[in-house]
């Protein structure tokens, strides 16, 4: 069964292995780890780490909801 590999972090300390069936395993890049040894023996090169995009800035409504305050409570708090 063929597998693809990509690094999980910028420091290359862990590899994500995905097989043909879509099964995923995370393999620490550590001496003595048999899965890491199998990866090295395969001669396959892992794809470079790609950082996830930054999350979008929350909207004003989301920020308000995160405070637990209602519009009325916020208005009263600010004396508006």
The verdict on pTM exceeding 0.75 is: no
The domain in which residue 52 lies consists of 3-78
**Distance between CA 22 and CA 25 in Å, rounded?**
10
Kindly give the confidence (pLDDT) of every residue in the chain, 80 residues in length, as a single tens digit, with 9 standing for 90 and above: 688 999 999 999 999 999 999 999 999 999 999 999 999 999 999 999 999 999 999 998 888 888 888 888 888 988 88
**Distance between CA 37 and CA 17 in Å, rounded?**
13
* Domain total of the chain: 1
Rounded to 5 degrees, φ, ψ at 77 are -60, -40
In contact, 5 and 15? CB cutoff 8 Å: yes
Closest to 46 (Cα-Cα) out of 13, 76, 6: 6
């Amino acid at each position: 069964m063929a597998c693809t590999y990509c690094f999980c972090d910028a420091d290359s300390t862990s590899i994500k292995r995905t097989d043909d069936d879509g099964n995923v395993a995370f393999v620490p890049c550590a001496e003595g780890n048999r899965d890491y040894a199998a990866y090295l023996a395969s001669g396959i090169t892992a794809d470079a780490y790609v950082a996830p995009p930054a999350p979008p800035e929350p909207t004003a409504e989301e920020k308000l909801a995160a405070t637990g305050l209602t519009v009325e409570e916020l208005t009263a708090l600010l004396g508006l």
